[in-house]
Amino acid sequence: VRSAAQWADFGRDHVSHGLGRLRDHVIVKGEGLDLHTADGKKLLDFTAGIGVTNLGHCHPAVSQAAAAQVNTLVHLQCSIGFHAPYLQLIDRLLPVMPHQSLDQFFFWNSGSEAVEAAVKVARKATGRQNIIVFQGAYHGRTMGSGAMTRSKPIYTQGTGPLMPGVFASAYPYWHGLGVSPSTSEEELVRLAKHQLDLVLRQQTSPTDVAAIFIEPVQGEGGYVPCPPAFLHYLREVCDKHGIKLVIDEVQTGFFRTGKYFAIDHITPSFRPDIMVFAKGVANGFPISGIVANKETMDTLDVGSMGGTYAGNAVACAAGVAAQDVYASGEIEANVAARSEQLYATLNKLATSSKTKHLIADVRGLGLMSAIEFRNPADSLTQEGLPEGTSIPKSIGKRVQEHCLDNDLLVLTTSCFDTIRFIPALVCTEEQMTRAMGIFTEAVEKVAL
Ligand code: PMP
């Protein structure tokens, strides 16, 4: 029998060095927003598995549905036939699709696989090869999805060549466009449109482009909501040139941003050609999916898609139970209340005389929100800084350390000096108050 410390040593000795970790906690149990460690600590989890356990760890309805399925049918390879939970999950998802044209599904295991499936579908449907993504994007770390990730080179450093034919344009965001954080949304959209026009004039002919992929709130790139006007522009460009518009809702889906999908914030209803989802769909069971309109999906050859575990029965059953909880309306209401509480704290820090000099930006949508600190290595974030004020480096890391020392798990993002907040959507008022207390204390401590 190993002690908690011995298990942590064992992990350090034998778990691949290629994985990073916040801390070497050995987690033995999860319940709502609480994670229990092998040495008896209780951590408040504001990471939710990076936006996966939206209903909290081990949500009873999801766990019970999965347990029942374990004793009924665990696996049926998807080319053998349909299984009941697969069809039930589609039945639950159909009515909540952001656009009624999205009615052809298949499931995969991870977000990256769904992204790559979308590349295949878009290429097959258009007979073209090139893909356009946005700077700061995260679509995965495999050879195809990794080529489409533009948030941090470490994900693919030294491991190329990756999938060719991927071009990146600027996301409508001040960092990517090299303008000040106070630039108006209208101006950001104008600049980003111009950049995309240049990509299509100077780098790839639109007639070679199969798809444009975009995250409606850029995730690993810094929790940056995309202005709806830019999404409308992408729709226009895609329609004009016969390009497929792929919305990556892997991190933003399932009420993370306050609505079922992030593009549900756009009215009237927004029409992607293809959408990919994962993470929150089954609250922790490994399943992802791709949905497209019939015209697009029907171009696939029979048997060209599939995989051994894709659309696993236990994961589908968990997904069905999760959709029933999402459909109740309670989650949507709670995200609205908790995000208001979260923003009140972040905005207070951004205006308080004690801490405002540290903060460059507060942004996000729903419970996918972030605070960015000024960084002496990044001149854009120095705007408005009173003369003679000195800003320490890596404030985010130091704030995060303080939170971790006080048993609050929070993440930074891949880009910039940012702390992001993605608690389970069942977060209580008390848990949010507690987390914001620890976080405020951390920022004030760094400000001293
Ligand atoms: N797309 C987005 C927007 C993501 O946030 C992620 C994961 N962080 C992925 C794709 C890849 O998903 P997975 O890690 O399940 O492969």
CATH number where 379 lies: 3.90.1150.10
Tokens 């890391």 identify what position? 397
Strand partners, 166: 131
Beta carbon of 65 within 6 Å of any ligand 1 atom: no
Ligand 1 centre and the CA of 2: distance in Å?
A: 34
Question: 205 and 281 share a domain?
Answer: yes
Tokens of residue 20, six digits: 């990073």
Best CA proximity match to 83, nearest among 312, 288, 323, 319: 312
| Protein residue with its CA nearest to atom 5 in ligand 1 | 251
Ligand 1 centre and the CA of 151: distance in Å?
A: 12
Strand partners, 292: 104, 274
Ligand 1 centre and the CA of 114: distance in Å?
A: 9
Distance CA 106, CA 253 (A): 17
Question: 360 and 269 share a domain?
Answer: no
Distance CA 279, CA 277 (A): 7
Question: 298 and 422 share a domain?
Answer: no
Beta carbon of 248 within 6 Å of any ligand 1 atom: yes
Q: Which of 19, 112, 141 to mutate to test the pocket of ligand 1 (most atoms within 8 A of CB)?
A: 112
Q: Atom of ligand 1 at shortest distance to CA of 251? A: 5
Question: 305 and 187 share a domain?
Answer: yes
Question: 15 and 142 share a domain?
Answer: no
Looking at 303, 326, 349, which one is the last position of a domain?
326
Structural contact between residues 325 and 98, judged by C-beta atoms closer than 8 angstroms: no
Q: Which residues of 331-354 are buried (b: 16+ CB within 10 A; e: fewer)?
A: bbebbeebbeebeebbeebbebee
What's the chain's average pLDDT? 96
Question: 150 and 48 share a domain?
Answer: no
Question: 175 and 28 share a domain?
Answer: no
| Residue 148 structural domain | 61-326
Question: 154 and 226 share a domain?
Answer: yes
Identity of the amino acid at 324: D
| Protein residue with its CA nearest to atom 14 in ligand 1 | 111
| Protein residue with its CA nearest to atom 12 in ligand 1 | 111
Beta carbon of 146 within 6 Å of any ligand 1 atom: no
Q: What is the pLDDT of residues 155-191, one digit of tens each?
A: 999 999 999 999 999 999 999 999 999 999 999 999 9
Looking at 306, 326, 346, which one is the last position of a domain?
326
Q: What is the pLDDT of residues 213-270, one digit of tens each?
A: 999 999 999 999 999 999 999 999 999 999 999 999 999 999 999 999 999 999 889 9
Looking at 279, 302, 326, which one is the last position of a domain?
326
Question: 406 and 433 share a domain?
Answer: yes
Question: 207 and 254 share a domain?
Answer: yes
Beta carbon of 112 within 6 Å of any ligand 1 atom: yes
Written as tens digits, the pLDDT of the chain (448 aa) is 899 999 999 999 999 999 989 999 999 999 999 999 999 999 999 999 999 999 999 999 999 999 999 999 999 999 999 999 999 999 999 999 999 999 999 999 999 999 999 999 999 999 999 999 999 999 999 999 999 999 999 999 999 999 999 999 999 999 999 999 999 999 999 999 999 999 999 999 999 999 999 999 999 999 999 999 999 999 999 999 999 999 999 999 999 999 999 999 998 899 999 999 999 999 999 999 999 999 999 999 999 999 999 999 999 999 999 999 999 999 999 999 999 999 999 999 999 999 999 999 999 999 999 999 999 888 899 888 888 888 888 899 999 999 999 999 999 987 789 999 999 999 999 999 999 999 999 999 988 8
Beta carbon of 221 within 6 Å of any ligand 1 atom: no
Tokens 């639950």 identify what position? 92
Tokens 């195809």 identify what position? 144
Distance CA 90, CA 40 (A): 40
Question: 346 and 294 share a domain?
Answer: no
Best CA proximity match to 342, nearest among 400, 427, 254, 270: 427
Ligand 1 centre and the CA of 138: distance in Å?
A: 7
Give the H or E element holding residue 242. none
Beta carbon of 289 within 6 Å of any ligand 1 atom: no
**pTM for this one?**
0.98
Number of structural domains the chain divides into: 2
CATH number of domain containing 208: 3.40.640.10
Question: 20 and 108 share a domain?
Answer: no
